[in-house]
Structure 1
Amino acid sequence: MKLSERIYEHAEKIWPRYLCHPFVTQMADGTLPQEKFRYYMLQDYLYLRDYVKIFAAIIPKADDFEQIRFLSGELAGTIDETFRTHIPYMKRLGITEEEIRSAHAHIDISAYTHYMICEAQMGDVLTGLVTLLNCSWSYAYIAEQMVKRYPNALQNENYGSWFAGYVSEEYRKTNQALIDRIDTLAVSIDEKETQKLCEIFEKCCLFDLRFWDVVYTMGES
């Protein structure tokens, strides 16, 4: 069994909770108050700022040029996407550059990214990629499932582009490349290491669930 298949067994216990979270369901049916989405975009921007640091942390651990090429490409691609899509999206929501500069991550989100970075720094390339996997894979899962349940989600003027981005073929390929890379690196690991990586992934799943709680309550819970 591939590592991604073992990991997915853990995802199946938690991901369905994402699909019934009010932030996600209200995005899909178009009723989410825009101020909640605005708060989400700011917090997600701060999350992404730490997310890319994980690639930077594991590049020195890579032992061949092909591996460095992949990790550098993922790092550059995430940064490019932030400037091409995320920041313009925030500006359309009326988020000013001053708000972006002065924003602080909620303590729960800081705990999440701190956990990811610590595991990546202590582990190898495979460990670092596993810390990144839930964010990438679960967004693809959420978007696909919610578009099936709410066919009009893609047409919503406020949130349609969010769903469209994560059901796109480009995103699917990027996410699959990450999964394939993880499976390749995990070919020779033993059961103890497999269990450790599954535990890291499951913790990231739970942190992500808390992320949805935080943005829905706008940090007040």
Structure 2
Amino acid sequence: MAQSFWNAAAPIIAVTEKHPFLVSMVDGTLRLENFKYYVLQDALYLTDFAHCLRFMGDKMADLDEHVSKRLYEFATGAEEAEKCLHKGFFKDWDIDDTDAKPMPNTLLYTSYMLRICSTECVAQGLAVLLPCFWVYMHVGKCMLKLRQDLGESVTRPPQFDAWIDMYGGEDFEKEVTDYIAIVDNVAKTSDASTVKKMQEHFIMSCKLEHMFWDQAQTLMKWPEIVENGKS
């Protein structure tokens, strides 16, 4: 059932896996400024993502204790493993991220995700979070292959390789496989209307994933609003 969501979003994913931000990370041409921007925004995103996973864990507590526990574990993984990677980068760069603010597409994505998780049923909430797992694993694998194809002649900052190794690695794949199975099982016991909504949320989150990398590619900022009301 979850595979049908992926199939429906396949055209978006096919474009995303070749996103210039991701490709340039592998071939070493991505500016470090853009990557730093991305990592700061991703750290903010992961805070809300972990909150959503815990919220889903709360909702599942009376329905399936095992799944509820696993969702809490996913939340901990997002905060500890993934954000630990980010914190390591900040230390390397001597960056204080405490005052980082979400940029437009970060806020758009997290607001949508938080709204669905807080106002819709468990099945829809689980589906809206799925692309963050599945798309990241997919692009990580694509980036691993491209890195192998390019060979050792290409040099890149160590942070780029660390990112590729995490999301293209076996440990993350195990997490993703488990989460897909949870969504799949919930979808199989949901009515047709709910499954349709799950697919809609999955596709929307895939679009927002792409836009998240667009944002880092262009270093998107909030418009400056001057006193007379003109931007």
Q: What is the TM-score with the length of structure 2 in the denominator?
A: 0.87
Farther off after superposition, 206-215 or 172-181: 206-215
Q: RMSD of the TM alignment (CA)?
A: 1.8
Give the drift of 1:83.
Answer: 4.5
**Stretches of structure 1 lacking an aligned partner (at least 5 in a row):** none
Matches within 5 A, 1:76-91: 76-91=76-91
Farther off after superposition, 22-31 or 9-18: 9-18
Q: Secondary structure at the match of 1:138?
A: helix
Matches within 5 A, 1:53-64: 53-62=51-60, 63=62, 64=64
Q: Is the 8 A contact 1:58 1:125 kept in 2?
A: yes
Q: Which amino acid aligns with 2:77?
A: G
Give the drift of 1:47.
Answer: 0.7
> More helix per residue: 1 or 2?
1
**Among candidates 125, 133, 137, match of residue 136 of structure 1:** 133
Distance 1:74 1:213 in 2: 26
**Stretches of structure 2 lacking an aligned partner (at least 5 in a row):** 223-231
Structure with greater Cα Rg: 2
Matches within 5 A, 1:136-215: 136-151=133-148, 152=150, 156-158=156-158, 159-215=160-216
Farther off after superposition, 120-129 or 166-175: 120-129
Give the drift of 1:153.
Answer: 7.4
Farther off after superposition, 39-48 or 85-94: 85-94
Identity %: 28
Q: Deviations over 1:3-31 (max 9, x none)?
A: x1111112211011112221111001011
Q: What is the TM-score with the length of structure 1 in the denominator?
A: 0.91
Partner of 2:75: 75
Partner of 1:111: 108
Q: Secondary structure at the match of 2:12?
A: helix
Distance 1:101 1:112 in 2: 20
Distance 2:151 2:14 in 1: 18
Residue 34 in structure 1 maps to residue 29 in structure 2 = no
Distance 2:221 2:57 in 1: 37
Q: Is the 8 A contact 1:55 1:75 kept in 2?
A: yes
